[in-house]
């Protein structure tokens, strides 16, 4: 089942269960997907976003909420931080399992071998391969420096 259908099914279930907080987060997910649909239609793509782009949207939403939760905790607003954390849990239900450090290292090795990366100039191609295969499964903000270190060595 595609991600959009899973989210819609979860919205219906949350409505039946009268789970207001969950429903609100699911509606935010739907709104973000629809916003991106509108943007890509403006670019001439009539089919809308695919699952890969939906994963990227969900990953971005999780990242935003983690940053917000951290800010709220630093400001002493634990109630708001808990709300952000609860939203993260709902969003992560639709993301594939995150790779651990060993799996990320293995994925970097495979991507470097696939493109024949030898220098820092190949970093963009390596990151492109990783993003195409592992969207939603790894944090590319932390993977980028690891790839750069490997290519610089």
Report whether pLDDT(118) > 90: no
How far apart, in Å, are the Cα atoms of 30 and each of 1, 51, 86? 16, 13, 17
**Share of residues in the chain with pLDDT > 90 (%):** 41
Each residue of 89-112: pLDDT tens digit? 999 999 888 888 898 889 998 998
* Separation between Cα atoms, residue 26 and residue 3, nearest integer Å: 12
DSSP tag of 117: -
pTM for this entry: 0.75
What is the reported pLDDT for 1?
52
* Class level of CATH domain 3-92: mainly alpha
**Share of residues in the chain with pLDDT > 70 (%):** 99
If we measure between CA atoms, which residue out of 105, 102, 117 comes closest to residue 143?
105
What is the reported pLDDT for 122?
87
CATH 1.10.10.410 given to domain 101-152: yes
Residue extents of the structural domains in the chain: 3-92, 101-152
What is the reported pLDDT for 22?
94
Find out whether 53 and 34 touch, Cβ atoms under 8 Å: no
CA angle 57, 93, 8 (to 5 degrees): 70
Each residue of 124-134: pLDDT tens digit? 999 998 988 88
Same fold? 3-92, 101-152: no
How far apart, in Å, are the Cα atoms of 119 and each of 140, 148, 153? 19, 9, 9
């Amino acid at each position: 089942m595609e991600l959009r259908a899973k989210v819609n099914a979860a919205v219906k279930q949350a409505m039946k269960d009268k789970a207001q907080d969950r429903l609100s987060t699911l509606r935010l997910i739907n709104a973000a997907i629809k916003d991106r649909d509108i943007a890509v239609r403006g670019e001439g793509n009539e089919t809308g976003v695919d699952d890969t782009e939906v994963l990227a949207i969900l990953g971005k939403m999780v990242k935003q909420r983690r940053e917000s939760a951290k800010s709220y905790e630093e400001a002493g607003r634990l109630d708001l931080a808990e709300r952000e954390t609860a939203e993260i849990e709902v969003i992560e239900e639709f993301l594939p399992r995150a790779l651990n450090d060993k799996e990320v290292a293995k994925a970097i090795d495979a991507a470097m071998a696939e493109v024949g990366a030898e220098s820092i100039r190949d970093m963009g191609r390596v990151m492109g391969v990783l993003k195409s295969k592992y969207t939603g499964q790894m944090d590319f903000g932390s993977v980028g420096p690891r790839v750069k270190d490997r290519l610089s060595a």
